[in-house]
C-alpha cells in the first residue's frame, strides 16, 4: 500500500521556488518528492498562493462525510440534558445503552469506533460532561 503524505502550503511553495532555481530533477532528488507531484503543484501554484495570502484552509468548511447518526443525535442530547438535571450517570457506557434503543445499528460497532463516535459527538454538540 502506498504511503500518502500531506504537505503544508508553504512547503509546496518553497518546493516550487527550488524547482525554479535547481530544476525539477534535482529538486525531486533533494526533497524526495515524486516528479508527478511537483508537476501537480506547479499547475495548482496560483491556488496555493491565493490560499496562503488569504490564510484560508485548503478544504472548504462543511467538507467531509456527514455523521450517520445526525437525526438521532438530538434525542441523545435531550437524554443527556435530562440526566444532567437528575444528576444521573453521564458515562459513555450508560449513554450507549440508550443509544442502542434509539439506533440499534450502533450495536454492530466495535468499542473503539464507539469511543471515537462519542468524542466526536461531544465536540459536535458542545456538551460539557462536568
pLDDT in tens, 77-114: 888 888 888 888 788 888 888 888 888 888 888 878 88
pTM, 2 dp: 0.48
Burial 70-105 (b: 16+ CB within 10 A, else e): eeebeebeebbeeeeeeeeeeebeebbeebeeebee
Domain ranges of the chain: 9-54, 70-124
| Angstrom distance (rounded) from CA 117 to CA 65 | 13
| Angstrom distance (rounded) from CA 74 to CA 93 | 18
Q: Is the pLDDT of residue 61 over 60?
A: no
Amino acid at each position: 500500500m502506498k504511503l500518502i503524505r500531506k504537505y503544508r502550503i508553504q512547503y509546496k511553495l518553497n518546493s516550487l521556488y527550488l524547482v525554479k532555481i535547481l530544476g525539477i530533477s534535482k529538486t525531486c532528488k533533494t526533497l524526495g518528492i515524486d516528479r508527478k507531484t511537483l508537476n501537480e503543484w506547479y499547475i495548482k501554484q496560483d491556488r496555493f498562493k491565493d490560499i496562503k495570502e488569504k490564510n484560508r484552509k485548503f478544504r472548504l468548511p462543511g467538507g467531509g462525510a456527514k455523521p450517520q447518526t445526525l437525526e438521532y443525535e438530538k434525542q441523545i442530547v435531550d437524554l443527556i440534558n435530562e440526566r444532567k438535571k437528575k444528576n444521573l450517570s453521564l458515562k459513555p457506557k450508560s449513554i450507549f445503552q440508550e443509544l442502542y434503543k434509539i439506533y440499534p445499528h450502533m450495536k454492530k460497532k466495535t468499542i473503539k469506533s464507539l469511543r471515537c463516535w462519542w468524542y466526536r459527538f461531544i465536540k459536535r454538540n458542545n456538551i460539557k460532561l462536568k
